[in-house]
Amino acid sequence: MGPDDNFFELGGDSIVSIRYVSQARKAGFTVTARQVFQHPTPAGLAAVAAPAAPAGRAPERPAEQATGPLVLPPVAHWFAGRGGAYRRFCQARLVLLPAGVRHADLETALQAVLDRHDGLRQVLTVARPGVWSAEVAPVGSLKAGSLLRTVDAAGLDAGALRELVSRESDRAAGELDPESGRTVRAVRFDAGPGEPGRLLLVAHHLVVDEVSWQILLPDLRAACEAAAEGRKPALDALDAVPTALRTWTAGLLAEAQSARRTAELDRWLAESATGGRLLTDRALDPARDTVATARRFTVRLSAERTEPLLTAVPQAFHGTVNDTLLTALALAVGDWAARHGKPADGLTVELEGHGREQDLVPGADLTRTVGWLTSVYPLRLTADSYDARAVVGGTQDAGAALKEIKERIRGIPDGGIGAGLLRYANAATAGLFDPEDRPEILWNYLGRQTAARQSAWGPAEEADALAVGPEPDAPLAYPLQVDAEVEQGPDGPELAASFLWAGDALSQDTVAALADGWTAALDALAAWAAGGVTAGHTPSDLDLLDLDQNQITMLEEMWRAQQ
């Protein structure tokens, strides 16, 4: 990576940027995630980076700051409002353990992690359905010895090991109960002396999100290695958590009342008004459209097809991987709608973001904060400057679509966090939102997973056997949910997307057509980038100049003509 290379044009994303910030701090420099977006080159960041705090043990936070009543973040209220069962609503990771890891060392390391990260020690109170509150229990209240168990996996072949992983992960998810403070479960699969084992971690979604795992797993590894070497992995052996979860969520409650957030009200009310159904013929029925009726399949692109989506396409229009993937989704839905004689002018999707817009709370630093901080917000993806069917069919240049969707995403203030704050954390504005009017599609880009499979503390190949789904009678929140991520494959990064849909509300043929359209659109975008005819900037790239897209395109064409 050279000094003028763009972080996002090389495949970086918002989640990876948080790891980037954390690594910079360890190297002695302080930068923020927002600065990575504003100055995405090493040279640009070098100009704004500040020296990190002097090395040494960070002062411990007072107990009253880290523990006690917790203001639930907006996403937790969003989930509570869904209704139905919630105890098994969790996330899980299965990692490969180096040979020789002992149960006692894992228990010691896990205890250090539980004590360090306050968000894991949440206790939920449900006064009545949909009315939730929580608190953070004191250090030491969650005992690693009671939540970690070892099971014998010695001599098992691949199939038998997968069956064991499935059975034990289902059991672990069933043991979760946030009302009793049982938010984490861990299982060590002992493959015998000299053989690498497996470690399963299951955590209720209320206490973790995608970024949290990228904090917890390295911490657990560091603490376990310390324990194996005879060093005590106490709290001071792990990096300090600069901003407690309680500090952040209390700051969000105050932010929800601020003038800058209430100034966004009309925008979010307009975005939230979906204008009717496009994919389905009826609204979801919480008693009928449950997890038991859900269907799922995954599409995966080869490393060869993925590579231009991470590099050439973002470079061509100075965007991000998520811009590209979301543009392809808009094209796929638009193409499907055109083929079925349906207008897609009002297409709205719900987006998940990492929600760690730390500049909103003075002094906040969320690079080490564990919890469910995700933001959920609607975005209307109307086709103003492109014909989706023509782009997918290869008869219209894809550049206009990419640039339009990029600008719509860039126009979202503060990562969309205001939508949830106004809908759930401000009593004066919450009642203005229609709880029944929600988009039909939830889109979530989980970022790029950099850990190689079958490497120590990396993802284990048996992870596809995990059985940690929610309760069968839990209601589905959306007719269609698409979760995309870039995984490390044998030949390089591979793009994978999971399509989860309500089987009684949406046909498999429709979902298959959308998935095929999405991959076809991705190929069309890659072909456009290879041609490079209309590559270039958009207004958000030139914030010091008042130019619209047509003016920018004209200037770029004049420049090319002179070359």
Residue 26 C-alpha from the chain's centroid: 23
Residues 19-60: pLDDT tens digits? 666 666 666 676 666 677 566 777 767 777 777 655 434 444
**Mean pLDDT for the stretch of residues 130-140:** 96
CA dist 541 and 323 (Å) reads 14
Domains of the chain: 14-51 (no CATH), 63-247 (3.30.559.10), 273-357+373-409+439-454+468-533 (3.30.559.30)
Task: Check pLDDT > 80 for residue 5.
Answer: no
pLDDT value at residue 388: 87
For β-strands 148-152 and 184-190, DSSP reports them as: parallel
Confidence category of residue 553, pLDDT binned at 50, 70, 90: low
**Global pTM exceeds 0.75:** yes
pLDDT of residue 452: 63
- Which residue type occupies 102? R
Per-residue pLDDT tens over the stretch 201-244:
999 999 999 999 999 999 999 999 999 988 877 555 568 899 99
Q: What is the DSSP secondary-structure string of 218-285?
A: HHHHHHHHHHHTT----GGGS---SS-HHHHHHHHHHHHTSHHHHTTHHHHHHHH---S-SS-SS---
Alpha-carbon distance of 222 to 237, in angstroms, equals 9
pLDDT tens digits, 140-194: 999 999 999 999 999 999 999 999 999 999 999 999 999 999 999 999 999 999 9
Residues 6 or more apart whose CB falls under 8 angstroms from that of 213 comprise 91, 93
For 348-363, the pLDDT digits (tens) are 999 999 999 988 999 8
Could you tell me which residues come within 8 angstroms of residue 87 by beta carbon, excluding any fewer than 6 positions away?
Answer: 176, 177, 178, 204, 471
What CA–CA distance (Å, rounded) separates 118 from 121?
6
